[in-house]
Amino acid sequence: MPDRRPLISGNWKMHHNHFEAIQSVQKLSYRLTKDDYEEVDVSVHPPFTDIRSIQTLLQSEKIPVELGAQNCHWEPKGAFTGEVAAGMLAKLDVTYVIVGHSERRELFGETDEMVNNKVKAVLKAEMTPIMCVGETLDERQADQTETKVAGQVVAGLAGVKPEQVASMVIAYEPIWAIGTGENATPADAQAVCALVRSTVAEKAGADAAAAVRIQYGGSVKPGNAPELMAQPDIDGALVGGASLEADDFARIVQYRLGGD
């Protein structure tokens, strides 16, 4: 299997003001060791209002955690009140930007075309997109998981060069598992992540498929992280609620030590 370095990302969603965010990162840094950073890439994705504070903390304390954002607009500038351009995030030393998160798709009506535009904007700004894909409960029960997920992968990568695809992260997030306490079994998660990789191979070639990192997201916890991360096509985790508690998030990053 190619050496795809694991990436564990904490998506804080609309939680933590900048004081709480600073405390959370400090606590996380106390829990993680040099060995952890050598084995796993770690990113935190706070709300926009926290990003500058976290950037300053990471740089001043030399904490080897990557700074991420939860979203961006696809245009470089313009009359888009309330939106943030990818280039603005790049100036804050953001490394990873989540695009097409299930909540953005379901609650804010983001389309595959919008997600594709955001992927291209993030790449143009020389950051790494974490492109999310996943099915609803109704789609799962109707045996439409493969059609839905493969379609999102193809649409999201439209017009993206193979070498760019290779540098990306794709997160499989079953919508029915987000914030519900439910999660796909490791075997089910592996099957869909393998589908994502095979779809990338068809779209961008075998080299891109071998290099792209695929995360699983959906009620990832310290207890299930080791078995999920043991799957051959799961290269990381996009962690929601469990990333808000530094102790839990650290235990997920340290999945190789055995979770609970």
Which amino acids are annotated catalytic? 101, 173
Phi first, then psi: give them for residue 92, nearest 5 degrees: -95, 15
Helices (H), the chain: 18-31, 34-39, 51-61, 86-90, 102-108, 112-124, 137-141, 145-156, 162-167, 186-204, 206-211, 225-229, 246-253
